[in-house]
Amino acid sequence: MTGEAAAAAIVEKPPRKRQERSLRTQERLLEAAVAAFSDSGFKATSTRNIAQRAGVHHPLIAYHFKSKDALWRAAADRVFGQLQARLVEAQAAAAGASRKGRMAALISAYAHYAAREPALHRMLVLEAGQAGPRLDWLVHKYLRPFVTTMTAELRELQRDGVAAHGHPVLLVNMIRVIAAGLPALMFEVKKSSNVDLLSSRGIDAMAALIVSVFLPGDSGSDLGN
């Protein structure tokens, strides 16, 4: 290494370390924020509590996220953005399947993600009970696009005689509430009903049952469109 290269490396190393440390701090704050907001909701959660959970100094929240509201949105982006990515992956993996098969893949992906990330259902429940800017933001960015896309697919499945009769928007919302809500109650369901939703096999069985109830038609009538 030349003298100039060595000097450049010395100059570059501390900023790189600071950047890596900053990214680790942001990650810890996001993980703590997801846990805190999904446990207690926005109003009952303090930024000081989040900092304590993350094991960082409280002023670092303002440094990295500017405000409590910005931190909540970043936490929601983490939870709902990852769900969105899982659904895109499931859709791509099932691209060659029938329309019913593609919908079944989306239901399964949704249920498995909800089981791995209970904050998905908890954050929705905590925000959906009252009107407000956070709910409006969630609806605009994540919920309405998802419901709109799924409803269009379900209408086609109804046309093909595969999906259950009824208001397609209501059916879509029933599917997603069951797919996310039951895994969120996995410990209670295990204790009260001895149904195991703690395992991947249990989630697979639940997703298959959702498909059989809401998409009862013979897949042979789905022409693979």
Judge whether 156 and 225 are in contact, CB under 8 Å.
yes
- For 39, the token pair is 């446990």
Q: For 69-95, how does the pLDDT look when each residue is reduced to its tens digit (9 = 90+)? A: 999 999 999 999 999 999 999 999 999
Instruction: Judge whether 163 and 157 are in contact, CB under 8 Å.
Output: yes
Q: Do residues 157 and 99 touch, judged by C-beta distance below 8 A? A: yes
Residue 129, pLDDT score: 82
CB 71 within 8 A of CB 35: no
CA 130, CA 64: separation in Å to the nearest integer?
Answer: 28
Tokens standing for residue 150 = 């799924």
Residue with tokens 């908890």: 122
- Whether residue 147 contacts residue 173, with contact meaning beta carbons closer than 8 Å, is answered with yes
In order of their start, the domains of the chain are 1-66 (1.10.10.60), 68-219 (1.10.357.10)
- Both tokens of 99, joined, read 């329309």
- Name the 3-class secondary structure at 154: helix
Report how far residue 199's alpha carbon sits from residue 183's, in angstroms, rounded to the nearest whole number.
10
For residues 81 and 78, give the distance between their C-alpha atoms in angstroms, rounded to a whole number.
5
The pLDDT tens digits of the residues spanning 127-150 come to: 988 889 999 999 999 999 999 999
Predicted TM-score (pTM) of the model is: 0.85
Q: Which stretches of the chain drop beneath a pLDDT of 50?
A: 1, 6-11, 221-224
